[in-house]
Amino acid sequence: MKLKLTALALSALMAAGPAMAELVFPSLSYRTGPYGANGIPFADGYADYFTLLNERDGGIGGVMTRVPECETAYNTEKGVECYEATKGDNPLIYQPLSTGITYQLIPKVSADGFPLHTMGYGRTSAANGKIFEWVFNYPANYWDGASIAINYLLDENGGSLEGKKIALVYHNSAYGKEPIRTLQELAAKHGYELLEIPVDHPGQEQKSQWLQIRQQRPDFVLMWGWGVMNQVAIQEAANIRFPMENFIGVWWSGSENDVIPAGAGADGYKSLNMHNIGTDFPLYDDLKTHVYDAGMAAGAGDQMGTVLYNRGIYAAMLAAEAAKTAQEIHGTAQINAAQMRDGMEALEITEEKMAALGMPNFGPAFSVTCENHGGSGRAKIQQWDADTQTWTILTDWIDSDRSVIDPLIAADSAAYAAEAGVEERCN
C-alpha cells in the first residue's frame, strides 16, 4: 500500500509540474455523418504529415508536435464546442474545414488570439489582412475559384461567353452561397446568364434541380457541393446525359469520393484543384518509411494519394512552415499562438521550398503579407478518367480576375469592420 501511495503521489506531482514542450495543432475533424467520407482523408493527411515531422525530424525546430482530434461531424454547434474544449491546450492554429464553423469562430479567435486558417473556404473577405488580423485563407478563396472557372471557360470558348447560360448548383448554406456575388459580377462583365440552383443539406435528393437543368439547357454547370451532394449531382447529370466536360466543380467537389459512385457516367467531369495530385512526390517515400511502414498512419491508412488526403498534407505543410517562420522571427522554438500568427503573416512558399520539402510543384508559389492573407488566388483544372480511375491535370495555374474580386473583398471586409468595430491595420 505504501508503494502504491508513493506512485500515486509521484503521478500527482508529475501532473502538477510543467508539461513537456510541444506544438499543438488541433484537428477539428469529422469522421462521421453525411460528410465523413470527405472529412476522413483530409484528417488522415493532416495527422500523417505531423507524424512524419515527429518521426523523421524530431518535430519542428526540435519541438515535437501533437494533433488532438475533436469530432465535429461537420456540425457548426459541435465545431464551436470543439474550439472551446481545445483552446486551453495552447493551440497554435485552427483549421475547421467548414465554412459554417468558420463564420462562428472568426469573432472568437479574434478575441482570444488564435490564428484561423480556412484554406480555400470560409469567409472570402478574410483575405483582407487589414481587417482580419487572425484569419488567413491562402492560397485561394471561393471568389478566386468562381473567377478561375469563368476564366477557364473563357479560354475554352475563344475569349467570349456572351449569350451563354451558366448554372450554379450549390449547397444551400453559407458555403454554397459564397460564389454567387462574384458570378453575378462576372455575368455582367462577360454577358452570360446565371442560373442559381440551391440544393438543401445534405443533398441526397436533387431530381427537381436536374429537371430544371434539363429544361433550361445551360451551356455549362458549375457546382459548389460537398459530401454526398457531389455524388448525387454527378449521377443526376449523367442520368440526363449532360455533357460532363461542361460540368465543373469547385475544389471541394473534385475528390475520388465524388466521382467513383457514378462509374462510367462521371467520365470527363472536371473540377478545380488548389494543389497537385497523386503520390509521385519524394515526400511519399518518407511517409512510407517513417509513417506507413511503421504502422503509424492515421485512420485506416488507406487514403494515400487521394485528392483530399493530399489536401490535408498541404494544409499541414503550410501550418508547419508558418511555425518554422514564427520560430525564426521570434528566436524561440516553443512559440505561442500570437507568434504563430506572425509566422503565418510572414509565410513565403516558393518552388525551391516545396522541392526541398519533397513536394515539388505541389501548390502555387505565394507570399503572405499584412494586407494579403489570401495568397496567390490560383488553381488548376483537373478531369476525371473513369477508365483509369484517376484525375488528370489539364491546365497550369490559372489566375483569378483581381479587377472584380479585389473590390468585392474591400467592400465586404469594410462592412464587417463597421459591424464588428474593427479598425484597419497595416498602416
The boundaries of every CATH 3.40.50.2300 domain in the chain are 22-140+277-377+407-420, 142-273
Is the distance from CB of 327 to CB of 60 less than 8 angstroms?
Answer: yes
Q: At residue 6, does pLDDT exceed 90?
A: no
Is the distance from CB of 286 to CB of 56 less than 8 angstroms?
Answer: yes
Residue range 141-177, pLDDT digits in tens = 999 999 999 999 999 999 999 999 999 999 999 999 9
Q: What does pTM read for this prediction?
A: 0.94
Query: Percent of the chain, pLDDT > 70?
Result: 95
- Reading the block at residue 11, the C-alpha cell is 503521478
Q: State residue 3's pLDDT score.
A: 31
The answer as to CATH 3.30.360.10 being correct for domain 142-273 is: no
Residue range 322-343, pLDDT digits in tens = 999 999 999 999 999 999 999 9
Residue 179 identity (one-letter amino acid):
P
- Which is it for the CA torsion 233, 236, 238, 243, positive or negative? negative
Kindly indicate the confidence band of residue 21, based on its pLDDT and cuts at 50, 70 and 90.
confident
For domain 22-140+277-377+407-420, the CATH superfamily is Response regulator (3.40.50.2300)
Residue range 216-237, pLDDT digits in tens = 999 999 999 999 999 999 999 9
Q: How far is CA 339 from the centre of its chain?
A: 23
Instruction: State the chain's mean pLDDT as an integer.
Output: 94
- Reading the block at residue 149, the C-alpha cell is 472557372
Q: Write out the chain in H/E/C secondary structure.
A: CHHHHHHHHHHHHHHHCCCCCCEECCEEECCCCCCHHHHHHHHHHHHHHHHHHHHHHCCECCECEECCEEECCCCHHHHHHHHHHHHHHCECCECCCCHHHHHHHHHHHHHHCCCEECCCCCCHHHHECCCCCCEECCCCCHHHHHHHHHHHHHHHCCCCCCCCEEEEEEECCHHHHCCHHHHHHHHHHHCCEEEEEEECCCCCCCHHHHHHHHHHCCCEEEEECCCHHHHHHHHHHHHCCCCHHHEEECHHHCCHHHHHHHHHHHCCCEEEECCCCCCCCHHHHHHHHHHHCCCCCCCCCCCCCCHHHHHHHHHHHHHHHHHHHHHHHHCCCCCCHHHHHHHHHCCEECHHHHHHCCCCCCCCCEECCCCECCCCCEEEEEEEECCCCEEEECCCCEECCHHHHHHHHHHHHHHHHHHHCCCCCCC
Residue range 248-295, pLDDT digits in tens = 999 999 999 999 999 999 999 999 999 999 999 999 999 999 999 999
Q: State residue 20's pLDDT score.
A: 60
Most confidently predicted of 12-16, 296-300, 363-367? 363-367
- Report CA-CA distances (Å) from 207 to 34, 169, 234, 261: 19, 12, 12, 17
Kindly indicate the confidence band of residue 352, based on its pLDDT and cuts at 50, 70 and 90.
very high
Residue 171 identity (one-letter amino acid):
H
Give the Cβ contact number of residue 68 at 10 Å: 15
What is the spatial distance between Cα 372 and Cα 139, in angstroms, rounded to a whole number? 10
Residue range 111-134, pLDDT digits in tens = 999 999 999 999 999 999 999 999
Rounded to an integer, the average pLDDT of 356-374 is: 98
Spatial CA neighbour of 173 closest among 75, 82, 256: 75
Pick the more confident residue, 16 or 168. 168
Q: At residue 10, does pLDDT exceed 90?
A: no
What is the spatial distance between Cα 41 and Cα 107, in angstroms, rounded to a whole number? 28
Spatial CA neighbour of 119 closest among 111, 107, 127, 128: 127
Return all residues near 327 (Cβ < 8 A) that are at least 6 apart: 60, 61, 333, 335, 343
